[in-house]
Amino acid sequence: MAPSKRKSAETEKMTVEDAKALDCGVCFSALKPPIFQCDNGHALCSSCRDKLAPAGKCHVCGITTRLGYRRCLAMDHLVESIRVACPNAAHGCDARPVYYDLAGHRKACPHAPSHCPGKTCSFSGTMKQLVDHITSSHGWPCTTKVIIAGQTSIRLQDGFNFLVLDHLVDKEGATTTSTTGKFLFLLNVARQPIGQQFWFNISVICIHPHHIYDGQGQSSTKAIKCELKYSWWFDNRLFHHYMSSDLRVDCTDLSDGLPNHETCFNCFNFVVPNSALEDGDKEAIHVKASITIY
């Protein structure tokens, strides 16, 4: 066996017994280049090096560092060569990020799972797997729409309703693409009778494993807004009932379950008299929805 192949086989199943050895001795964050050391080899990150330089001595052994901490190129090379499997490997991710960047990879991993909103269901999976699950295992209605501009009409029944979008449009007309490929929205409808009227409570959340990211996987501070409208003419168009509301939509992977529907702050609430309901809306309600990034 050639030396290079033998070494590869010998190190193939190596494990790190003490992960703290790869952390900065001051802030305990994962070491990443450039890494520095004192003359006795005690390593620290560049940020801590800058903070401790005025003290003129090592943070561990107290040795004088008048000439400053020196670069530790061997440690630089070591941490660059340590690769770890993504925790989402079971969901199809074959990436092996460097040890110190695992947290950064997890924040934008396209294979990160989201959870089923069913109270007794423990399913979790990628966006595509989740969409297949909610339709095949639960039979919840799921509509696929591409909203480029304006609004789309959607028929909402009581309970869970899902809307799948390929991308979102911002206020200026530019599009944002999810790292998972699609955006999945849950519109939860609760209907309560009040005398001869109905109280509709519609909450909207975006089921997504991350906050909204741009096409390069960079975190965005933009907010998602969903505008819901209900409109109906009745009595031969003599009367018109119209309601509209703008909702801020939160992103969640549902790992902590559904937000409390009764105390939900981003809900569309309105009262509709029976006479104002279209015949088809007595079983399910038609609303117009537009989703925008701000």
Determine contact, residues 46/87, Cβ cutoff 8 Å.
Answer: no
Give the integer Cα–Cα distance in Å for 9 and 6. 5
| One CATH from 2.40.110.10, 3.30.70.20, 3.50.50.60, 3.30.40.10 for 19-82 | 3.30.40.10
Element (H, E) at 48: helix 46-52
Q: Which CATH architecture has domain 114-293?
A: Sandwich (2.60)
**Tens digit of each residue's pLDDT (9 = 90 or more) over 80-120:** 888 888 988 888 889 899 988 888 888 878 788 899 999 89
Low-confidence ranges of the chain (pLDDT < 70): 1-18, 65-67, 145-150, 167-181, 196-198, 211-222, 260-283
Give the integer Cα–Cα distance in Å for 156 and 202. 9
State residue 146's pLDDT score: 56
State residue 73's pLDDT score: 92
Give the integer Cα–Cα distance in Å for 271 and 200. 6
Every domain of the chain and the residues it spans: 19-82, 114-293
State residue 196's pLDDT score: 67
State residue 63's pLDDT score: 75
For the residues of 147-216, what is the DSSP string, one character each? -SSS-EEEEEESEEEEEEES-EEETTS-EE--TTS-EEEEEEEEEEEETTEEEEEEEEEEE-SSS-B-TT
